[in-house]
Structure 1
Amino acid sequence: MNRSDISFHSDRSLPFNPDDIKLWIREVIDLENRKTGIISYTFVDDEELLRINKDFLNHDFYTDIITFDEVVDTTINGEIFISLDRIKENSLESGSYQNEFLRVVVHGVLHLIGYDDHSSSEKLLMREKEDNYIELFHVKH
């Protein structure tokens, strides 16, 4: 059975229609020659993401996203936790809460697809991918 589902969990409102975001995520995965599996996004505050970071990764610092990879072959599955507080804070520098939201959402998917951001060249490629896919969202939605 080929299962595919993208879900969003948040007690705060999101800046875009979830159906538009889900369609966009599927487009990104298709363009990367992968299949959409089961992806769960949970939007939390800084303190909840810090707790997850400590409990599961033994990291004691704030972050904007934590991605748990459950990919099977070319099917993209995973759990993605995102701090809406960090997005808001980071958007003060970038200038756009909406674009920062999209950047973090697609960043998680790109990690599941196999992109990393440890080295400077990996960070550059990740940023290029993010920018291209944010542009795609704005063109299509």
Structure 2
Amino acid sequence: MASVMVRRQNVPRAPLTRAQTERVVESLLARERLPATVEISILFADNETIQELNRDYRGIDAPTDVLSFPLHTRAELEAADDEAEVLLGDVVVSVDRAREQAREQGHSLSQEVALLLAHGVLHLVGYDHGSPEEAERMREAERQVLAGAAYLDRAR
């Protein structure tokens, strides 16, 4: 079960409906079988906003497509009581970058945003892509999450 807070900053409208956003998150949580009820904050932003966050938190003064700010390790999440309510963290998606990448990949903005959202939330639950093996594991998880949420076209 998830509580999803969706906000937007400097974008005229969210690229996914609330139901679509929740579908991606619920698909991921069902796949991961986390014991606790979780809360996630999602921000749809422009390149300027995500560049500022990327600079402030990662020391990289450039826009990126998605940022994740996890509050717990995977071990902490797995150890959480079934009755616990756990704040997983925040995901920020650049709608500007998503639009560019969707155009490059030849699919819809909503498809790209769903992929970026899945990628970001996977980071919140402990996935990374620092090695080729980790990257492949994460790509497979993205595919499964998007399939479960009915976004089947592409995963990194």
**Shorter chain as normaliser: what TM range?**
0.7 to 0.9
Return the alpha-carbon distance in structure 2 between the equivalents of residues 27 and 137 of structure 1: 6
Per-residue CA shift, 1:47-87, capped at 9, x if unaligned? 11001111122112221111111127224610111100010
Asked if the contact 2:16–2:113 (Cα under 8 Å) also holds between the matched residues in 1, the reply is no
Return the alpha-carbon distance in structure 2 between the equivalents of residues 64 and 33 of structure 1: 27
Amino acid at match of 2:102: S
**Structure 1 residue runs without a partner (length 5+):** none
Match of 1:18 in 2: 18
Amino acid at match of 1:116: D
How do 1:1-141 residues align onto structure 2 when only pairs under 5 Å count? 4-10=2-8, 11-34=11-34, 35-71=36-72, 73-74=76-77, 75=86, 77-96=88-107, 97-138=109-150
Deviation at 1:44, TM superposition (A): 0.7
Where relative contact order (Cα < 8 A, 6+ residues apart) is larger, the structure is 2
Identical-pair percentage: 27
- SS at 1:138's partner residue? coil
Match of 2:154 in 1: none
Asked if the contact 2:27–2:146 (Cα under 8 Å) also holds between the matched residues in 1, the reply is no
- SS at 1:107's partner residue? helix
Evaluate the alpha carbon distance shift between residue 30 and residue 91 of structure 1 in structure 2; reply closer, same or farther with a 3 A threshold. same
Amino acid at match of 1:9: R
Number of equivalenced pairs: 137
- For normalisation by structure 1, the TM-score amounts to 0.85
- SS at 2:69's partner residue? strand
Return the alpha-carbon distance in structure 1 between the equivalents of residues 37 and 112 of structure 2: 23
Q: Which moved more, 1:14-23 or 1:114-123?
A: 14-23
Return the alpha-carbon distance in structure 2 between the equivalents of residues 28 and 44 of structure 1: 22
